[in-house]
Amino acid sequence: MYTPLDIRKLQDKIDEITNKTEVVESDEIAELELPVEEQEVEEASPEEVTNSGREEDEATRAGRLDRDNVKLDDVKPAIEKLLAEYEKDANEWHDRYNNLEKGLKQQGMTDPNAIQMKIYDMDDDIVSYVNIDDLEDKIEAIETLMKQGDADGHDIVDIADSGPGDTSAREEFMRELKTAIKQDYPELYSKLFMYDLDESTGATEKVAQEGDAELEELKGMLGRSGVMGFTN
């Protein structure tokens, strides 16, 4: 139990420690205030630059697009090369499937559905690891494009964006088509596609297309409402 004298001494000691602490804290705050303010400015400045740079970059990318003046014939050899690769893979898949089917029939199986299920249950290096439906969708997309004698850059991008029905296969097809064109025609690539190969995620070619679609929809709405004088 403390005596009154002890309490006063204790309080003095507490006050002494508190005063020292306040001095230290004040000194530390004085030293930190300027660097903190400068740091906040330095952190804000790059963000502003980044945002500005991003906007300028988007405008630059969009400015390079010139799909009207890129014709199918300009990049046709690269697309035909990709088509040949798809057809080779598809033929390999069908040949392998037919051989497996033949083997099962020789074992006495006759029901086509049962044979198909048996083959799909196998862990085959080709049949089990190639989605033939997606592959044939890619082939069909390119064949559809090739039938358009007057196809331009818009048609090329449209077919790439609306190829296979499965989302992952469609994204893969877009990437493969972009790769084929960029490898052989890098000077035309930026006229067709707004984003590079490694920028496909989160930034698809739909950005440019949706702008055109919205404009056309607006024109239609204005036309139906009787508003005149709307021009490009």
Tens-digit pLDDT profile for residues 176-210 = 999 999 999 999 999 999 988 877 444 444 444 55
Name the more confident of 212 and 171: 171
Give CA–CA dist 71/146, Å, rounded.
11
pLDDT band at 50 (very low <50, low <70, confident <90, very high): very low
Segment of 36-50, 82-96, 213-227 carrying the highest mean pLDDT: 82-96
Which pTM value belongs to this model? 0.61
The pLDDT-based confidence of 82 (bands split at 50, 70, 90) is very high
Residue, of 160 and 154, whose pLDDT is higher: 154
- The residue-averaged pLDDT of 102-114 equals 95
User: For 113-155, how does the pLDDT look when each residue is reduced to its tens digit (9 = 90+)?
Assistant: 999 999 999 999 999 999 999 999 999 999 999 999 899 999 9
**Per-residue pLDDT at 34:** 47
Closest CA to 90 of 129, 135, 120: 135
pLDDT of 7 reads: 53
